A and B are shown apart, each in its own frame.
Chain A
Amino acid sequence: MHVRRLELVDFRSYRAVEVDFEPGASVLVGPNGIGKTNLVEALGYIATLASHRVATDAPLVRSGAGSAVIRCTVMHDGRELLVELELVPGKANRARLGHSPVRRAREVVGALRMVLFAPEDIELVRGDPAARRRYLDDLLVARRPRFAAVCADYDRVLKQRNALLRTAQLARRSGGGADLSTLDVWDGQLAGHGAELLAGRLELAAGLAPHVAAGYDAVAGEAAGAASLRYRSSLPAAGADRDALATALAAALAQARTAEVERGVTTVGPHRDDLALTLGELPAKGYASHGECWSFAVALRLAAYRLLRADGVEPVLVLDDVFAELDTGRRDRLARSLEDATQTLVTCAVEADVPVALHGARFEVRDGEVKRV
């Protein structure tokens, strides 16, 4: 799959811009704040219907304009597909697929598959477990959309159960007896949805692990320590079978009940899990250098890319400002590892940072224009 053309109207800093891409690598060069990431963000919006930078649509519309348009021509298996989105802040987005309007904007998801590395991704390595759980869940949903419902159900049950525990906690503090007659029911629901989510994540983590190790080697070189990824569950090991996981989770909830009523919050379940990322023998968080963390974050995205590619549809790989934080050796190795990708879009603030090994088209970004050089 590759992006052939991207057109933006009133999107972020762009009044109107058109960029034609080709398969292979494309490097977008331009100074800070000129709008390179805006192009990446627009592509990401077409792929996921959300920005990787902001939660609301208002900042995406150029100030003074009423709406923004993203138009993207995607080539897949020799066929051309035009995806069009109109962003109107505060209203539902309007979407068109191949010139015909679709009923729900969600229907365009999947027309462009893309894996994005953004500088914020360093938080995957150095940040809180929540970022790593989101990384897993997003990938889980991209591969199997049903998990969007599993995640939503789990979150809902968790909220309800926490509300019940909090009421019980308050009742206990004020000396009254707590009504816990429905807690068994919520335990059962939490165990059921939680086991499903856990089974999905465990399978995904097992599939990712070899790709992460290979991805880190590809960037850092064989001589550097081996990177590994392991799912760290709040449950004792229970295999990957859904029923066994549900039994284990239910047992853990039963064991934690007294403590949970005291604290008024659910303390076991996939919402407390994490990914253990290690370099050599040591955890990456707290031990690895900045460059190593950066390389690890790149490896996590490359692993997602390889996994999706193995599923059958090759996504477009987008690397936003990836080179600045890497040494020359890592830059060259990363560039060479991208050679077999159908399409890679890379942004860079300084031309000199682009490794020689990265062949492909160069684009200059300046003053609301993108020009091929």
Chain B
Amino acid sequence: MYEGAIQDLIDELGRLPGVGPKSAQRIAFHLLSADPVDVNRLATTMRRVKEVVRFCTTCFNVAEEEQCRVCRDTRRSDEVLCVVEEPKDVVAIERTGEFRGRYHVLGGAINPLEGIGPDQLRIRELMARLSAGTVKELILATDPNTEGEATATYLALLVKPMGLTVTRLASGLPVGGDLEYADEITLGRAFVGRRAV
């Protein structure tokens, strides 16, 4: 136990995700010995992120203005909409360079254990966007786990009456690797889910 400010800093850092007590202590002492200019820049950036960053009013991605960069881009198609759980999923899909449509960020997935149902997600906002009628294809890009699958199935049922094309991302073996490196569970599932060519 240290006294005063340094212990306060260790406690605060320890509250961050992925930071244990040992790492918190290490970061705290690093900051203590670092150049004041660097530490001030970090403090200012942290304050600024809370002041400046907000959520896009259209897709709920992170943004610094009314709308995020994707929603402002006039070259993108309004006919394809990709539904993801978190803003970091938008970044992941953008890196592929394969998608030129718009996004909708739900803010999580249906998870009764954590008390998250459709009302806690931005599903009402999604339905409002779809009712405008410009979207022709809805891509469900929620995580390939139990909660993500449940969310995708729920959305698919919900938009069914609208007559859109609804698609789900493919899953299976990682491409470009060797079969022998896939673990037996992944390979076993890919085997069961094989398709005709």
Chain A residues with CB under 8 Å of chain B are 106, 144-146, 148-149, 153, 156-157, 159-161, 163-164, 167, 179, 181-182, 184-186, 188-189
Contact = CB atoms under 8 A, between A and B. Distances in A.
A188 to B, nearest CB: 6
Interface string B154-197: 10010000000000000000000000000111001101100000
A182 B113 contact: no
B111 interface: yes
18 contacts: A146-B191, A149-B189, A153-B146, A156-B145, A156-B146, A160-B112, A160-B113, A164-B112, A167-B115, A179-B118, A181-B117, A182-B112, A182-B117, A182-B118, A182-B150, A186-B112, A188-B153, A189-B153
B90 interface: no
A160 B153 contact: no
A146 B184 CA distance: 7
Interface string B74-112: 000000000000000000000000000000000000111
Interface string B15-51: 0000000000000000000000000000000000000
Given A146-B184, A156-B146, A189-B153, 8 more contacts: A145-B185, A146-B189, A146-B191, A149-B188, A157-B146, A159-B113, A161-B112, A163-B112
A144 B188 contact: yes
Interface in B132-159: 145-147, 149-150, 153-154, 157
A167 B188 contact: no
Interface of B: 110-113, 115, 117-119, 145-147, 149-150, 153-154, 157, 183-185, 188-189, 191-192
B189 A160 contact: no
Contacts of B150: 157, 160, 182, 185-186, 189
Contact of B110 (A146, A156, A159, A185): A185
A161 B184 CA distance: 28
Nearest to B115: A167
Contacts of B183: 106
